[in-house]
């Protein structure tokens, strides 16, 4: 912890971050962004949960991280904020709520949760603990989605928003909840994150699930494609209106985990949530409804 103490003497206090769910490859991006490349001088990963596994020891060595604990609650006294990024979204609530109640800011990597009740519990904990809760798919803040949203603003009122991408209802990490947020969240983001106007209608085929739901007066068409072992399915989004159509393909080369992480760090340091908490609920509600229909 000495290097961290020295840095504090030269500048404003560093936001100390702990990570749980280090099996997720996103952890590599977070540690590289803050600790290795040092893209920010006001935030650093200082602790990892999950025990002294080979993976955690490797991450700790790369990022010069001194603290490895078994469970997230064990690093609560050493951090100001946490990133929860288990691949199994059903694990997120039990690790997030105690940290929020203790006043620790928390970013929950996608999915926020696998049930609406879990999301509501997290929101309640953030409000009672006075901490910031944030969660999103990296595609929600992708440059291509912002470009599409700007382009769509030049159309008449959109009639249909379609997002297509890879996701597998048989994925061992809670099925469509694992990759599904990359489809649902951008669709809502394009429209400015409105509430839902209808129930979800679901049509399942052998290698695809298509869901239909209205939000903000617009028809959303969400297509989840099960790719084969050799396939590559980029995300694709289209906005259709009576006077035109705009579309964008979102490839992995255009995604930047650092952008979303910086957004969370800024929110934690200001103490202001980066988006209204009510916007965390519709993506989980849609995915839960789709899953219930399968």
Whether residue 42 is predicted with pLDDT greater than 70 in this model: the reply is: yes
Q: Pick from 77, 10, 1: which is nearest to 41 by CA?
A: 10
pLDDT digits (tens, 9 = 90+) for 219-255: 999 999 998 877 788 899 999 999 999 999 987 766 7
**CA trace torsion 44, 47, 52, 58 (10° rounding):** 0
pLDDT digits (tens, 9 = 90+) for 115-167: 999 999 999 999 999 999 999 999 988 888 888 999 998 898 899 999 999 99
Q: Are residues 67 and 159 in the same domain?
A: no
Q: Are residues 8 and 108 in the same domain?
A: yes
Is-contact 34 59, C-beta < 8 A?
A: no
Q: Are residues 99 and 6 in the same domain?
A: yes
Q: Are residues 44 and 24 in the same domain?
A: yes
Q: Are residues 241 and 99 in the same domain?
A: no
Domain total in the chain: 2
CATH of the domain at 82: 3.40.50.720
**Is 281 contained in some domain?**
no
Q: Are residues 213 and 233 in the same domain?
A: yes
CATH of the domain at 206: 3.30.360.10
Q: Are residues 51 and 169 in the same domain?
A: no
Prediction pTM value: 0.92
Q: Are residues 131 and 90 in the same domain?
A: yes
113: phi then psi, degrees, rounded to nearest 5? -165, -175
DSSP character at residue 93: H
Q: Are residues 56 and 182 in the same domain?
A: no
Q: Are residues 131 and 165 in the same domain?
A: no
Q: Are residues 111 and 19 in the same domain?
A: yes
Domain that holds residue 213: 139-254+286-293
* pLDDT score at 142: 84
């Amino acid at each position: 912890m000495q290097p961290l103490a020295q840095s504090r003497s030269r500048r404003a206090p560093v936001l100390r971050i702990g990570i749980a769910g280090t099996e997720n490859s996103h952890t590599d991006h977070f540690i590289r962004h803050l600790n290795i490349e040092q893209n920010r001088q006001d935030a650093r990963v200082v602790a990892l949960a999950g025990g002294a596994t080979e993976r955690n020891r490797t991450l700790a060595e790369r990022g010069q991280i001194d603290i490895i604990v078994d469970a997230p609650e064990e690093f609560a006294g050493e951090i100001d904020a946490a990133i929860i990024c288990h691949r199994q979204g059903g694990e997120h609530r039990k690790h997030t709520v105690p940290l929020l109640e203790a006043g620790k800011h928390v970013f929950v990597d996608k999915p926020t949760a696998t049930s609406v009740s879990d999301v509501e519990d997290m929101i309640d904990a953030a409000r009672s603990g006075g901490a910031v809760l944030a969660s999103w798919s990296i595609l929600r803040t992708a440059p291509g989605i912002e470009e599409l949203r700007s382009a769509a603003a030049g159309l008449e009122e959109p009639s249909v928003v379609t997002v297509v991408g890879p996701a597998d209802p048989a994925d061992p990490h809670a099925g469509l909840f694992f990759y599904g947020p990359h489809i649902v969240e951008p669709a809502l983001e394009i429209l400015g994150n409105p509430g839902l106007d209808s129930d979800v209608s679901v049509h399942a085929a052998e290698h695809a699930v298509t869901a239909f739901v209205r939000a903000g007066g617009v028809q959303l068409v969400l297509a989840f494609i099960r790719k084969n072992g050799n396939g590559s399915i980029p995300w694709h989004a289209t906005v259709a209106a009576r006077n035109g159509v705009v579309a964008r393909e979102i490839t992995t080369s255009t995604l930047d985990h650092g952008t979303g992480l910086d957004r969370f760090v800024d929110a934690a340091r200001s103490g202001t949530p980066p988006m209204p908490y009510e916007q965390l609920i519709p993506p989980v509600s849609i995915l839960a409804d789709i899953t219930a229909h399968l």
